[in-house]
Structure 1
Amino acid sequence: MSDRPLPATRRGSRAHEAHESQFRLLRQRRFAPFFWTQFLGAMNDNVFKIGFTSLVTYQAARFSGVDPATAAFLISAIFILPFVLFSATSGQIADKYDKAMLTRLVKSFEIVVMLIGGAGFWLHSAPLLYLCTFLMGVHSTVFGPVKYSYLPQHLSKAELIGGNGMVEMGTFVAILLGAIVGGAGAGLAEHGALVLAGACIAIALAGRIVSGFVPATAAPQPELRINWNPFSETWRNLKLARENRTVFLSLLGISWLWFVGATFLSSFFSFAKNVLSANPDVVTVLLGTFSIGIGIGSLLCEKLSKRRIEIGLVPLGSIGMSVFAIDLFFASHALAPVGHLLSVGEFLGRLAHWRVLADLFLLAMFGGFYSVPLYALIQSRSRPSHRARIIAANNILNSLFMIVSALMAMGLTSAGFGIPAIFLVTALLNIVVATYIYSLVPEFLLRFIAWMLVHTFYRIRLVHAERIPDEGAAVLVCNHVSFVDAIVIMAESPRPIRFVMDHQIFSSPFAGWVFRHAKAIPIAPAHQDPELLARAYERCAQALAEGELVCIFPEGKLTRTGEMNPFRHGVMEIVGRTPAPVIPMALRGLWGSVFSRGNDAHWPRPIRKGVMSRLSLAVGEPIDPAQATPEKLQQIVTELRGARK
């Protein structure tokens, strides 16, 4: 595959055919230099912050006027303050100028900042180190909108999940390496400050060299006039983000993740020293476990989502985060007191500590499931001309949430809460916030329910699923085999679908709740409710006019024999009002499962097919609406299904 971005009309299909693994991107110039540039930047952030935090936590006497109990939270707050002040301006700059040029300017600035930080380490000057912390925050603020708006310009939609997973994985591996270097440097009593200073400057120089290979990336809005007032532009960016409700709530979801992550990461030094009775080297073990967990979770997203933007993983991630954060609280309380600071070997030699590490690893892994689909969703659903400013709005919200996180942790610490209690409070708040967001945007929860049900009961094979369009109106037509046909199709579609469903389904407590929130369209036969039938056709016409997908089961009822019932004329009524391509589909393998219906009137029936049985969803070529007769559609669907029911 060429390193040059593919045209929009061909990019998706070619990526689907040629993209075998997300790691393939590391061999391509459109991704690799950018990846290593952001990797080195994230690593340098953490060499500096971990080195600084470790010194003021374990060698506080060298730094006058520093409180070691709250220093980690203060460093975190200072680092993210520039995100509040300058993110809006940074978003405009990223939309107006070539991102490769901006990347190189940012990396040159990093060298200057690290010279200041190096002087702070050398002189053990807290004011200089706090200044460097702030300036590194400025560096990350400017690079943030460039970082996440770069990917959609160089990757196809099918590659976005894999690309974001690689970036998230790389970021947290960089955090791990930065923690190792920063912690090791701070642990050297004689020359630790010099080692930290040299490491920070060397990594900044390496980042500047690599950034020179980032390919040119055209500015999406070069005519944009920059508003240099950060306050009015911040408000404007937030208003811009609110134009798309799903995108805005996704921004809030990501910001909440940073609230949770900042609380845990900033607590590790105090957690190691005061709860685990461990030395600074154990902090590196904790950070490494957390980083590997979120890296693995980020990489697994591509496999679990089948290279689609699968927002059903988001609720799964939030559930796992809360479960293992709560268990971490109990695991911490089960630890026996120790009279001295444990080395890494002593720490790992105690079985109880492995439960702590397992909780951290799994919490972080589920955090990866949570974050990667949200980033990809924001990138795919934001207007290209405003994408960097939407990312800037994300950074503004992230920073506000992280500052609140630091203030909450400092307040709880001052009130006498221990670190495990702070973890428990964060886990309980996560449950409340997640419940609130999913109540506002049921699409997340619906995709989660569909994803869980389908991947629990079936192994699904997709045949030409790319024929379901990523955008634009279309009518999907499918055979009707079981009570979960719509859920299977919902789980395998790249976008939301408006299902035309029998009105009686809406009286069922669970199915009715699911399909009402999925904006399904109730329909009834003319002899039962002619007014409802007319309204159904009107709502289908409106949905198609707005560019949505509409799915209908033209048999009108479930099969009782496994063979298809005659197709009715509803499809012709729908496309006659609003012409749109008709896409035939066929489900095979569901007949005989617990969700299908046999000749007997009793349901559920004995299961003839067990859990994880195989089924297929085959998608046919789009048909011109003028040719979409019931007879022709039934013939095509029958051929797509084949002999297997």
Structure 2
Amino acid sequence: MSGQFGLLKEKRFGPLFGTQFLGAFNDNLYKNALVVLLTFQAAQWTSIAPELLGNLAAGIFILPFFLFSATAGQLADKYDKATLARFSKLLEILIMGIAAVGFALHSLAWLLAALFLLGLQSTQFGPVKYAILPQHLHEDELVGGNALIEAGTFVSILIGTLAGGLLAGSVAQPMWIAVGGLAVAVLGYLYSRGIPEAPPPAPELRINWNPLSETWRSINFARGNRSVFLSILGASWFWLYGALFLAQFPAYTKNVLGGGETMVTLLLAIFTVGIGVGSLLCERMSGKHVEIGLVPFGSIGLTLFGIDLYFASPVGLVGTTAHELTALLSLPAVWRVLFDLLMLGMFGGFFIVPLYALVQSRSEPAHRARIIAANNILNALFMVVGALGAAAALGAGLSIPALFGIAALLNAAVAVYIYGLVPEFLLRFVAWLLVKAVYRLRREGVEHIPLDGPALLVANHVSFADAVILMGASPRPIRFVMDHRIFRTPLLGFVFRHCGAIPIASAKEDPALMEKAFAEVAAALADGQLVGIFPEGNITADGELQPFRPGVARILAASPVPVVPMALSGLWGSFFSRIDGVAMQTPFRRGMFSAIGLKVGAPLDAAAATPERLFESVLALRGERR
């Protein structure tokens, strides 16, 4: 993890991290302090019931995300994001001044206005925070940067919530809440001054001030890339799922565990630590690249531990008074609940970090901030729908543990739906699992695979797992040209069919299919995609490199794109190779975690990439080890 923590020392990331950390801290400090104050001292401020005030405050804070996210996205695409970040912090200082006036005048209207403006300030900063990361971070730093942002956000929310509650309950004069918020806002502004310039991608953009039409337009920008839009829906579902759990912690503690406020804090802390640990582990588990294979892994954990929380929830602990924390921690059932919450948070980190990184890396730069604004709108909408659904279910008599169990089952259904629409998630999960659970893959030169634009990837063919391994190692999806017979293999056929692989046959066997394959390759390259081929034509029967067939020359004659030579080593003799004449007959014949290698060479111009030259390049990259 030293790599991602090293970003905190970099000027291109550290000031941004400090700015967003203090901003999230301040939002929750003020919001929770206000809710606690109005809950326990409601009679001094208004005649409205405390329960209604808490929900009113939550609604007022989230309302600006619906009204102004689309405008904030436009501003972040049109103006320098570092300048907008500094403006955001100046606005935060002004808002804390308004809150101070509200406390001085003892005016609920002023305090709620300040809360609304804090929501507006967060709305304005949201697209800046996420859209600036791809401008200041390299591709292999994007996952680590997002991991730190997510971990920092949840930790700041926890600390801010605790600090707000302590301030509201311990100070004689509520004015100190505003003073504390003002100090944090000033510190946040000082951090923001260190954020490097981030030139706008669309300075010529004309701002559309109509929130309804611009919201729809931003959502359409997101829908333009299917994987990006479904990633946004997945992220929005995560916020619904996580917010549903978090919102029940107080009632769950009181009505199921029989605990008090300290136990609520512990549940929140455990969940937050889990998300932080899961987020930070993403960089190591993904090899510093955007690895969406972690998303299905995360969804599996979110489902399993959500269901287990239902079964782990104890019965009969509630008494006439709240149990002490030490008494609850002496019970194994409570430790099981804490473990489930920790795992829910950790797998939530595995789920959300790659999704945000994918949205940033695959969004059109000129529209990136507006796409992130659409993400924020949908996140807020899902959380509101989730809160209303949970309230309706609990009002109908459903228990909180049962609500957790149903939410976990719905999470499984949502996951199956999304992975059915975009099989790339599932495919990358299979590739990630294969590389992590079966092999130890050493990669060299992966940076030679272009991050955008068309390219032809050429590799040796040692085993049935070659394409899956290469897909897992590539930062972008690859459309492989493959023998049509492999599509009849039960598992591999399903995987390749759903990842857009192109079936091909020889001219003698099926000339029509061969011509169709070359046409699909040309169309894919014209569309800016990566196409992978195995020029040997077949999986090697002796581990040696076979002569390259002339098909590669025909592809390059029609589509003169860069050619990237790649070489796999160490797979000969594995379960998926033909060392025994027929592959996949002797499981674990090389044991677990056998070492394999992938070397990627520098791209060659189409004119220089003859079959003979490519054969020599791949052979040199592979070396002696088969």
Bin for the TM-score computed over the shorter chain:
over 0.9
- TM-superposed CA distance for 1:150, in Å, is 1.6
- TM-superposed CA distance for 1:309, in Å, is 1.0
- TM-superposed CA distance for 1:43, in Å, is 0.6
Structure 2 counterpart of 1:634: 615
Structure 1 counterpart of 2:138: 156
- Aligned match for 2:557, one of 576, 584, 587: 576
Preserved CA contact (<8 Å) 1:186 1:196? yes
Stretch deviating more after TM superposition (333-342 or 155-164): 333-342
Preserved CA contact (<8 Å) 2:254 2:318? no
Change (3 A) 1:65 1:390: same
In structure 1, what is the Cα distance between the partners aligned to 2:2 and 2:364?
Answer: 28
Does the alignment pair 1:266 with 2:247? Answer: yes
AA partner of residue 369 (structure 1): F
- Aligned match for 1:588, one of 569, 575, 581: 569
In structure 2, what is the Cα distance between the partners aligned to 1:134 and 1:586?
Answer: 57
TM-score normalised by structure 1 residue count: 0.91
Preserved CA contact (<8 Å) 2:576 2:583? no
SS of corresponding position for 1:21: helix
Stretch deviating more after TM superposition (291-300 or 205-214): 205-214
Preserved CA contact (<8 Å) 1:183 1:280? no
- TM-superposed CA distance for 1:294, in Å, is 1.0
In structure 1, what is the Cα distance between the partners aligned to 2:112 and 2:263?
Answer: 25
Structure 1 counterpart of 2:205: 224
In structure 2, what is the Cα distance between the partners aligned to 1:245 and 1:357?
Answer: 37
Structure 2 counterpart of 1:211: 192
Q: Deviations over 1:264-295 (max 9, x none)?
A: 22222222233222222222222211211111
- TM-superposed CA distance for 1:561, in Å, is 2.0
In structure 1, what is the Cα distance between the partners aligned to 2:580 and 2:274?
Answer: 50
Q: 1:16-165, aligned counterparts within 5 Å?
A: 21-55=3-37, 65=47, 73-117=55-99, 128-165=110-147
AA partner of residue 251 (structure 1): I
In structure 2, what is the Cα distance between the partners aligned to 1:192 and 1:323?
Answer: 47
In structure 2, what is the Cα distance between the partners aligned to 1:136 and 1:236?
Answer: 25
Q: Deviations over 1:113-163 (max 9, x none)?
A: 334445666888665554433222112111111111121221122221111
Structure 2 counterpart of 1:6: none
In structure 2, what is the Cα distance between the partners aligned to 1:265 and 1:479?
Answer: 50
In structure 1, what is the Cα distance between the partners aligned to 2:583 and 2:74?
Answer: 63
- TM-superposed CA distance for 1:410, in Å, is 2.1
Change (3 A) 1:225 1:94: same
In structure 2, what is the Cα distance between the partners aligned to 1:505 and 1:192?
Answer: 74
AA partner of residue 322 (structure 2): L
Change (3 A) 1:122 1:273: farther
Change (3 A) 1:336 1:529: same
Structure 2 counterpart of 1:174: 156
Name structure 1 gaps, 5 residues minimum.
1-18
- TM-superposed CA distance for 1:412, in Å, is 2.0
Change (3 A) 1:162 1:114: same
- Aligned match for 2:291, one of 289, 310, 313: 310
SS of corresponding position for 2:94: helix
- TM-superposed CA distance for 1:54, in Å, is 4.1
AA partner of residue 103 (structure 1): A
- TM-superposed CA distance for 1:184, in Å, is 2.6
Q: Deviations over 1:457-501 (max 9, x none)?
A: 000001211112212222222111111111111110111111111
In structure 2, what is the Cα distance between the partners aligned to 1:332 and 1:75?
Answer: 30
In structure 2, what is the Cα distance between the partners aligned to 1:417 and 1:216?
Answer: 52
- Aligned match for 1:404, one of 371, 385, 389: 385
Preserved CA contact (<8 Å) 1:587 1:617? yes
Structure 1 counterpart of 2:182: 201
Stretch deviating more after TM superposition (90-99 or 46-55): 46-55
Change (3 A) 1:186 1:347: farther
SS of corresponding position for 2:624: coil
In structure 1, what is the Cα distance between the partners aligned to 2:49 and 2:460?
Answer: 68
Q: Percent identity of the aligned residues?
A: 55
Does the alignment pair 1:481 with 2:462? Answer: yes
Preserved CA contact (<8 Å) 2:256 2:315? no
- TM-superposed CA distance for 1:601, in Å, is 4.4
Does the alignment pair 1:617 with 2:598? Answer: yes
- Aligned match for 1:563, one of 512, 522, 544: 544
Stretch deviating more after TM superposition (204-213 or 549-558): 204-213
In structure 1, what is the Cα distance between the partners aligned to 2:422 and 2:597?
Answer: 29
- TM-superposed CA distance for 1:582, in Å, is 2.2
Aligned residues: 626
Stretch deviating more after TM superposition (276-285 or 126-135): 126-135
Q: Deviations over 1:41-92 (max 9, x none)?
A: 1011122233344455667776755556676555433321110111111111
- TM-superposed CA distance for 1:395, in Å, is 1.1
In structure 1, what is the Cα distance between the partners aligned to 2:323 and 2:42?
Answer: 20
In structure 1, what is the Cα distance between the partners aligned to 2:112 and 2:394?
Answer: 22
In structure 2, what is the Cα distance between the partners aligned to 1:272 and 1:25?
Answer: 38
Change (3 A) 1:35 1:395: same
SS of corresponding position for 2:589: coil
Change (3 A) 1:613 1:444: same
AA partner of residue 137 (structure 2): L
Does the alignment pair 1:350 with 2:350? Answer: no
Structure 2 counterpart of 1:233: 214
TM-score normalised by structure 2 residue count: 0.94
SS of corresponding position for 2:132: helix
Structure 2 counterpart of 1:465: 446
Structure 1 counterpart of 2:358: 377
Preserved CA contact (<8 Å) 1:592 1:607? no
Preserved CA contact (<8 Å) 1:73 1:266? no
Q: Deviations over 1:335-375 (max 9, x none)?
A: 63333223433333333222122111111111111111111
Preserved CA contact (<8 Å) 2:575 2:583? no
The RMSD of aligned alpha carbons is: 2.4
Stretch deviating more after TM superposition (115-124 or 626-635): 115-124
Change (3 A) 1:469 1:221: closer
Preserved CA contact (<8 Å) 2:257 2:317? no
- TM-superposed CA distance for 1:298, in Å, is 1.2
In structure 2, what is the Cα distance between the partners aligned to 1:488 and 1:344?
Answer: 49
Change (3 A) 1:627 1:240: closer
- TM-superposed CA distance for 1:193, in Å, is 4.1
